[in-house]
């Protein structure tokens, strides 16, 4: 369940990602030149036996990363979307990439008549002003339907849901004029395209946020100090600062002392919003 990203010369453990069955991110540190390589995988939908293909990242060089307190990491240049969950191009049902039977070998030139698999980012238009909440509803629906058939998969979905609900508020305090203008433009065109007024769902979002984090805490079992720090973040964002501080005081060797100190400071100030760590 662990990937590593490079952050200004440091390594940061992304504790929440489940490694896809085929795709592996290989990161080289230092002056060794690393090219981005992508493979084409052809596989069969486990729901309807439809054959399709998908592009998968096999190696990548990360120049820099922005890390948030909930574990969300934004790399530069951007990395391809996570392909743990795909959507069949024929039956439109989601499935776990690990559950799909794959044809042997790396297909450099797939059959032009072969459809491409979709992913969760294809189901909602990019200029939809309510896109984050609709993604959150989608992940919530997958959880309610029993789509996550293992504890690891439930943890994966609940962290995706957690981070998705945080996206609307991510880094608002440090947004500059250009960022704010971009957000307003996207919101405006989203309303024009949909032809609807924006619907405020603060109460509904908060209920979903709290319920999801409580269920995540109940199944998330940290195995080391770095994983304990992510648990601290869950309690902090729920406003359970005493519990967060109790766990923080038991952590002896965090991978990043800088991140530990910033989260500790947020806990002591009783701050519950997501924030940037670097």
Indicate whether 267 and 141 sit together in one domain: no
Note the pLDDT tens digit of each residue in 206-233: 899 999 999 999 999 999 988 999 999 9
Q: Is the pLDDT of residue 157 over 90?
A: yes
- Examine residue 278 and state whether it is found in any structural domain, yes or no: no
Specify the number of domains making up the chain: 2
Q: Is the pLDDT of residue 29 over 60?
A: no
Distances in Å between the alpha carbon of 50 and those of 35, 91, 109, 114? 32, 8, 18, 10
Indicate whether 167 and 31 sit together in one domain: yes
- Examine residue 87 and state whether it is found in any structural domain, yes or no: yes
Indicate whether 126 and 206 sit together in one domain: yes
Indicate whether 147 and 30 sit together in one domain: yes
Note the pLDDT tens digit of each residue in 36-60: 677 788 989 999 999 998 887 777 6
Indicate whether 169 and 260 sit together in one domain: no
Indicate whether 126 and 241 sit together in one domain: no
Q: Look at residue 132 in the predicted model and tell me its pLDDT.
A: 85
Computed on alpha carbons and rounded to an integer, the radius of gyration of the chain in Å comes to 20
Residue owning tokens 């450099």: 108
- Examine residue 184 and state whether it is found in any structural domain, yes or no: yes
Indicate whether 174 and 40 sit together in one domain: yes
Q: Look at residue 57 in the predicted model and tell me its pLDDT.
A: 73
Residue 199 φ then ψ, to 5°: -105, 125
Mean pLDDT (whole number) for 103-121: 77
Q: Look at residue 149 in the predicted model and tell me its pLDDT.
A: 95
Indicate whether 29 and 104 sit together in one domain: yes
Indicate whether 243 and 122 sit together in one domain: no
Q: Look at residue 109 in the predicted model and tell me its pLDDT.
A: 66
Indicate whether 120 and 229 sit together in one domain: no
Local confidence band at 177 (pLDDT 50, 70, 90 cut-offs): very low
- Examine residue 45 and state whether it is found in any structural domain, yes or no: yes
Tell which wins on pLDDT, 252 or 187: 252
Total-model pTM: 0.76
Local confidence band at 18 (pLDDT 50, 70, 90 cut-offs): very low
Note the pLDDT tens digit of each residue in 68-84: 999 988 877 666 667 89
Nearest alpha carbon to residue 232 among 253, 2, 195, 242: 242
Q: Is the pLDDT of residue 26 over 90?
A: no
Boundary of a domain, candidates 204, 220, 236 = 220
Tell which wins on pLDDT, 246 or 131: 246
Q: Is the distance from CB of 62 to CB of 5 less than 8 angstroms?
A: yes
- Examine residue 26 and state whether it is found in any structural domain, yes or no: yes
Boundary of a domain, candidates 198, 220, 242 = 220
- Examine residue 277 and state whether it is found in any structural domain, yes or no: no
**Residue range(s) defining the domain that contains residue 189:** 3-220
Indicate whether 231 and 202 sit together in one domain: no
Q: Look at residue 14 in the predicted model and tell me its pLDDT.
A: 34
The answer for residues whose C-beta is within 8 angstroms of residue 212's C-beta and 6 or more apart is 140, 158, 161, 162, 165
**What angle (nearest 5°) sits at the alpha carbon of residue 57, between those of residues 55 and 61?**
145
Indicate whether 188 and 103 sit together in one domain: yes
* Burial of 195 per CB tally in 10 Å (0-12, 13-18, 19+): exposed
Determine the Cα–Cα distance for residues 124 and 227; give it in Å rounded to an integer: 32
Determine the Cα–Cα distance for residues 14 and 189; give it in Å rounded to an integer: 34
Determine the Cα–Cα distance for residues 104 and 121; give it in Å rounded to an integer: 27
Q: Is the pLDDT of residue 203 over 80?
A: no
Note the pLDDT tens digit of each residue in 87-111: 999 999 999 999 999 876 556 666 7
Boundary of a domain, candidates 220, 240, 260 = 220
């Amino acid at each position: 369940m662990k990937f590593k990203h490079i952050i200004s010369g440091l390594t940061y453990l992304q504790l929440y990602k489940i490694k896809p069955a085929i795709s592996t991110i290989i990161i080289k540190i230092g002056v060794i030149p690393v090219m981005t390589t992508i493979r084409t995988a052809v596989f069969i939908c486990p729901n309807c036996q439809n054959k399709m293909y998908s592009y998968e990242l096999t190696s990548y060089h990360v120049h820099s990363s922005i890390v948030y307190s909930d574990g969300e990491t934004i790399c530069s240049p951007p990395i391809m979307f996570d392909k743990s969950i795909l959507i069949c191009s024929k039956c439109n049902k989601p499935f776990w990439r690990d559950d799909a039977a794959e044809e042997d070998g790396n297909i450099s030139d797939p059959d032009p008549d072969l459809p491409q698999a979709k992913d969760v980012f294809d189901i909602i238009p990019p200029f939809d002003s309510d896109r984050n909440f609709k993604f959150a509803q989608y992940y919530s629906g997958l959880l309610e339907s029993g789509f996550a058939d293992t504890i690891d998969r439930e943890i994966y979905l609940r962290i995706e849901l957690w981070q998705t609900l945080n996206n609307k508020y991510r880094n608002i305090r440090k947004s500059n004029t250009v960022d704010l203008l971009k957000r307003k433009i996207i919101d405006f065109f989203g309303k024009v395209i949909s032809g609807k007024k924006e619907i405020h769902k603060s109460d509904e979002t908060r209920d979903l946020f709290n319920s999801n984090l409580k269920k995540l805490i109940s199944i998330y079992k940290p195995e080391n100090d770095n994983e304990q720090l992510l648990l601290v973040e869950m309690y902090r964002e729920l406003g359970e600062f005493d519990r967060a501080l109790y766990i923080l005081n038991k952590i002896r060797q965090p991978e990043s002392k800088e991140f530990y100190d910033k989260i500790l400071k947020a806990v002591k100030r009783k701050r519950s919003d997501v924030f940037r760590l670097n």
